[in-house]
Amino acid sequence: MRNMIVTVTLNPAIDMNLTVPDWWFDDTNRAVSVRKDAGGKGINVSRVVAEMGGATRALCLLGGHSGREFNDLLRAKAIELKSVRIEGETRLNVVITNQAQQKQIKVNQQGPRIKQAEFRRFERLLSRELPEAAFVAFCGSLPPGLPHDTYLRLVERARRRNVRAVLDADGEVLKQGILGKPFLLKPNRFELERLMGRKLTSEGALIDAARQLLARGVEVVVVSDAGRPCIAVKNQEVWIGFPPKVKVLSTVGSGDSLIAGLVMKFVEGKPLREALRYGIALGTAAATTPDTQLCFRKDVPPIYKRVRVEKG
């Protein structure tokens, strides 16, 4: 049985976190700590799968000096990486954490422009990896130069090879990607509201919106909501997952960790209820770590015991 979880990150980034005691505008702010990680939503999924002992391979586009640094950062975590070289420079995303106020400022670069020839090389790379994949997760924003239907075409490519696809995107890219009928869709509440074109202020409204996506050919929809109950819908199943209360140090990567947990359990053949509970445990564990760190395996069991899942 195939158990490889392949992740696709078309707009990867080096995530740099600067921690300051407080911040002052129009004055010098000095960082008391600096941390760099290889990031991007798909990369985060691979990092968590690897941390939890799963099989994963990360695919991405890398370029320039920062691309080489990105490669070194990820390989230092013993994560298998396969990339296509591009002419542009891999982006740098900056998070500034204010210790006094417990707040963060996040600044993301747009990313390098991708040429058609570069993307065609990536498509060939993906095709070579699909025979070993149980799942392929398409996550995050698209860099300049790639059309809105990029994920649609990649999801369809995976489906033709009988590989279940996961999609985590936003806006028009998400709207187009759904047409490819991915197995799993994981929007947060705000992304789902933008997709549906209306506010979703109740549990019932979220469930109804998820069911509308199932009617379009998606098999599983999981809606996260920043520490509030998480909703999972599949066929006639509806589950509501309640994350335990924890001290949140950073929300970076919590949604990606949720995806990692869901997919790992689906690979094992576990039911949706169990997958949701495990995913929430990983997402919650990630929120307890500072900066751009994600979850640690040792922290998951006590959190998992406190996750509650009920029928919706």
Supply angle C-alpha 295, 288, 199, rounded to 5: 100
Q: How far is CA 274 from CA 182, 263, 264, 265, 310, in A?
A: 21, 11, 11, 7, 11
- 156 CB-near residues (< 8 Å, 6+ apart): 180
- The token duo for 96 is 């500034």
What CA–CA distance (Å, rounded) separates 22 from 110?
Answer: 27
Q: Could you list the beta-strand ranges (E) of 13-132.
A: 13-20, 33-39, 56-63, 80-86, 91-98, 103-107
User: Would you say 253 and 231 are in contact if contact means Cβ atoms under 8 Å apart?
Assistant: no
Q: How far is CA 247 from CA 37, 164, 202, 306, 307, in A?
A: 22, 35, 25, 14, 15
113, HSE (Cβ side, Cα atoms, 13 Å): 2
- Which SS3 state, helix, strand or coil, does residue 221 take? strand
Supply angle C-alpha 10, 117, 151, rounded to 5: 35
- The token duo for 264 is 């790992």
Question: Is 256 labeled as catalytic in the residue annotation?
Answer: yes
Write down the catalytic residue from 15, 37, 168, 256.
Answer: 256
> What are the catalytic residues?
256
